Amino acid sequence: MTIYEIITKKKHNVELSTEEINWVVAGYVSGSIPDYQMSALLMAICFCSLSDRETTDLTMAMARSGDMIKPETGGFNVDKHSTGGVGDKTTLIVAPIVAACGVCVPKMSGRGLGHTGGTIDKLESIPGFKTEISFEKFVENVKKAGLAVAGQTGSLVPADKKIYALRNATATVDSIPLICSSIMSKKLATGADGIVLDVKVGDGAFMKTYEDAEKLADAMVRVGKLAGRKCVAVITDMEKPLGRAVGNSLEVIEAIEALKGNAPDDLLEVSLVLATEMLYVAGKGSTEDCRKMAEEAVSSGKALAKLSEMIQLQGGNPEVINDYTFFAQPKRSKEIFASEDGFVTGISCEKTGLISLKLGAGRETKESDIDFTAGIIFDKTVGDKVSKGERIATLYTSTKCDIDAIAEDFAKVFTYTATENPCPEKIVKKVIKGY
């Protein structure tokens, strides 16, 4: 077996055997297969795709490339994963809701990627909050509070770490089998009994069309099922940023407000559907019962109390919940005004993500520091009526970026029409239950 033969097979759309896939993953992790040959294979996969069997084999080989852990929390463990979006702070809302309903959420999360944000960066905007905790402490916290959110340790799925970095540099990210194996290998290696996947679709997501999002959702659910996990995928809209805040501390504040009962409609609906499905996979009752439980966890204040408990257990200052001045404050801001009368028809998600990156909310390189205060608050969203000169958003930063030039670019993020759209996009498009 040689890597040259395997690349040639895939280039001609021939199925790879389980042995060949295992051999490639092991060889790439050990360093015996160099980046340039792995890149060629990844590009061949982008063009010729993988069969269901090959995708499952790749996922399992990647999952087994490092430690396979199982948090022994004494309960049913549910995990949630988003394929990546802009303004997506749902983990900060959903994990406390589910924990408040008595289901354990041991969650390992990632940092921001490209124009999309990451839960770990958001949580680190809370003064004192530690995301790098030992596995023992992580499990202990879940046993105490029902939830913990930590960064993934280096020994988990090293194959994904290496392959993802290579995909990022070789324009091979947006392939359905490669995204499926990347996400599901991490979920399978962290031992969740139930997995709820939020598959984003639209301009701000890796999947731009509904058809591709559905294919990805089906592939992930199938792999989860084959691995013996209860798996549900929810396809949700990412044609515009989720909620009204983009940026790290700004999104944490929006999540806290959501748990106080003040969520924008789109954010509330996605969060409640995800929480409902997590409770459902944990066997908490019918979908209707689970939805009611999730709503009550918010209205009773129990979910907010869970967030506070998690912040305290991970070294953060829980006072941020009552007083937002405990967060670092932005040094500069700039208001943005509507350029015409009418209705907002679109807010480009990808452009919003890139602008928040320029303001300092994300990393331009792996080594860049994040400005936790940077980001955007939207006053207006898709479907809203606006008058020329009315404020539509505010930009925030503490970096030395050229905020005036960024504001000029940002004005192009909005599009308008003279008449109201009677059929706005549905925020939750489909729920696929894999068992």
Closest CA to 340 of 416, 234, 249: 416
Kindly state the helix (H) or strand (E) to which residue 298 belongs, with its residue range.
helix 287-299
Q: How far is the CB of 120 from ligand URA (least distance, A)?
A: 13
The alpha carbon torsion through 93, 97, 99, 104 (nearest 10 deg) reads -70
With CA atoms as reference, report the closest residue to 112 among 267, 2, 246.
246
Q: Select 160 or 239, whichever has its Cβ closest to ligand URA.
A: 160
Euclidean distance between the first and final Cα of the chain, in Å?
Answer: 37
Minimum CB distance to ligand URA, residue 73 (Å)? 23
The count of C-alpha atoms lying within 13 angstroms of the C-alpha of 407, restricted to the half-sphere facing its C-beta, is 19
At closest approach, how far in Å is the CB of 161 from ligand URA? 10
- DSSP, collapsed to helix, strand or coil, labels residue 348 as coil
> DSSP H helical segments within 153-197, as ranges?
158-169, 176-189
Kindly report each contact of residues 31-39 with a partner whose C-beta sits within 8 Å and lies 24 or more positions away, as own/partner.
33/3, 35/166, 37/3, 37/4, 37/7, 38/3, 38/163, 38/166, 39/166, 39/170, 39/172
Q: What DSSP letter does each residue of 229-293 carry, written as one string?
A: -EEEEEEEE-SS-SSSEESHHHHHHHHHHHHTT---HHHHHHHHHHHHHHHHHTT-S-HHHHHHH
CB of 116 or CB of 397, closer to ligand URA? 116
Does residue 220 contact residue 347 with C-beta atoms inside 8 Å? Answer: no
Q: Is 81 a catalytic residue?
A: yes
Choose, from 82, 109, 182, 356, the residue flagged as catalytic. Answer: 182
Q: Which spans of this chain sit near ligand URA (rule: CB under 6 A)? A: 83-84, 173, 179, 182-183, 206
> Given the complex with ligand URA, which of 145 and 183 has the nearer CB atom?
183
Any residues with CB less than 8 A from the CB of 51 and at least 6 apart, and which? 15
Active-site annotation holds for 115: no
CB of 160 to ligand URA, least distance (A): 7
Q: Report in angstroms how near the CB of residue 57 gets to ligand URA at its nearest.
A: 17
Q: Which tokens go with 170? A: 């070789």
Asked about 17 being catalytic, the answer comes back as no
Q: Catalytic pick from 81, 89, 230, 306?
A: 81
For ligand URA, give the closer residue by CB, 218 or 384: 218
Task: Give the residue closest to ligand URA by C-beta.
Answer: 182
Q: Which of 57, 88, 121, 160 is catalytic?
A: 160
**Which distant-in-sequence residues (6+ apart) come within 8 Å of 206 by Cβ?**
83, 84, 173, 174, 179, 200
Amino acid sitting at position 91: T
**Minimum distance, C-beta of residue 179 to ligand URA, in the bound complex (Å):** 4
Catalytic residue flag (residue 160): yes
118 versus 316: smaller Cβ distance to ligand URA = 118
Q: Is 278 left (phi over 0), alpha (psi -120 to 50) or beta?
A: alpha
Tell which residue, 133, 161, 139, has the closest CA to residue 65. Answer: 161
Shortest Cβ 84–ligand URA spacing (Å) = 5
Q: What count of other Cβ atoms lies within 10 Å of the Cβ of residue 14?
A: 10
Nearer to ligand URA, 183 or 189 (CB): 183
**Rounded CA gap, 88 and 117, in Å?**
7
**Least distance from ligand URA to the Cβ atom of residue 178, Å:** 6
Closest to ligand URA by CB, 46 vs 386, is 46
Active-site choice (122, 186, 187, 291): 186
Please tell me which residue in 89, 107, 161, 167 is annotated as part of the active site: 167
Would the CA dihedral through 376, 381, 385, 388 be positive or negative? positive
Q: CB-side exposure of 357: number of CA atoms within 13 Å?
A: 19
Query: Which residues are designated catalytic?
Result: 81, 160, 167, 182, 186
